[in-house]
Structure 1
């Protein structure tokens, strides 16, 4: 085949490849917050189980303190377990959440408070964070108007910054930011801001694991001798 014929054959293929590349880039550039949350939610729901660590700093009782906790979840069962390592006031406390209730084990008093899931969802948690939804970041933002405020990185490894503003006056008058990586569609960072835009909590998501063999029995285990207090 002559050079001219090869050039004629190559041009359509090159044009097609270029068009696909441009369409892919345009699609990534125009991804909406709903698109990103949908991908994040779908990825988490297809996992048999997932776990991660949230660590950083937050404003508690008017002062900045270290925050460190581990989250374990079985999405299909709407079951999650949160274990605190810091701050000191919450160290060794455990929160277990299912579809109907939230059980909060208080280490210092050896008590378990039991609250309905509906009541817990309407209450402010630490730094305004709803721990009944902490295992699912898309659910965490369900009461927010969310928009994409930043995108960085190259195709396949983009990092999207989502910012949510509460739809109605509630327990949190500020905003929430969730950073989501395109590589695996998972959260990498969570920030909570007050009404003036000051960061109240800045938490990194690390040790993110899926399908590590977690069981419902393990996630719901709490000390048997603890006093039960129903709220």
Structure 2
């Protein structure tokens, strides 16, 4: 059982207007952070594949985030075993609603353990909002030209070793300065997660109460 906070993903928007040849990965991520100051909330769909306890399975998540509150809600649509489960993450706690048992497990964010995944997503919230040099070693792998503009691939290697993955790669488009794709890899180069970001919406007026909402009749289990 590995730690998982799938907030990955969530606020990986990026902004840089100069050419990649004139910049380092640190320069780019500095502008990522600067661009997010105007973002009040984000809604995004994440789809792809990930290694779960019983092998590779489809992933379909609806994610909502209010960055200023360090608050994220993740609704699971797939895989089937996790469908209709909900994870609510704030600065201090992780609340995991299990649909089949109608229970909410509440844990410390620092010690959270959620079932189902064979690798650790715990740093993805930080990864997407402040990919700092104190937490990751960054490298700009490539710059390509796509239909909607330039696309950049940045590789991040966590300085901590107990994350369940060795490195991540994020593909960022200059069209809207947002991530298109994220991969997590192990030490042998095996892809543990291959996720695509779609259906972006920002500053739609999300409310904290709605993100925190879970069934009132659910049993609360604190760990």
TM-score class, shorter: 0.7 to 0.9
Task: Give the alignment's TM-score, normalised by structure 2.
Answer: 0.82
SS of 2:111's equivalent in the other structure is: helix
1:109-120 equivalent positions in 2, closer than 5 A: 109-120=101-112
Higher helix residue share: 1
Task: Please list every run of 5 or more consecutive structure 1 residues that lacks an aligned counterpart in the other structure.
Answer: 1-23
Q: CA distance change for structure 1 residues 128 and 174 in 2, over 3 Å: closer, same or farther?
A: same
CA contact (8 A) 2:64 2:74 kept: yes
Task: Give unpaired runs (5+ residues) of structure 2.
Answer: 1-16
Counterpart in the other structure of 1:186: 178
Equivalenced residue count is 205
What are the Cα deviations for residues 199-231 of structure 1, in whole angstroms up to 9, with x where unaligned?
Answer: 121100000110112111111100011111111
Whether the 8 Å contact between 1:190 and 1:202 is mirrored in structure 2 is: yes
How far does residue 172 in structure 1 lie from its aligned partner after superposition? 1.8
What TM-score results when the alignment is normalised by the length of structure 1?
Answer: 0.79
- Larger Rg belongs to: 1
Cα distance in 1 for residues equivalent to 2:114 and 2:219 = 23
Deviations 1:16-50 (A, max 9, x none): xxxxxxxx86x531222122222222323321111
Aligned-pair distance for 1:124? 9.6
What does residue range 47-196 of structure 1 map to in structure 2 within 5 Å? 47-120=39-112, 126-130=117-121, 133-134=124-125, 137-139=128-130, 143-153=135-145, 157-196=149-188
Conservation of the 8 A alpha-carbon contact between 1:148 and 1:161: yes
Q: 1:152 to 1:35 in 2, by over 3 A?
A: same
What is the distance in 2 between the residues matched to 1:52 and 1:188? 11
- Shift of the 191–119 alpha-carbon distance from structure 1 to 2, 3 Å rule, reads same
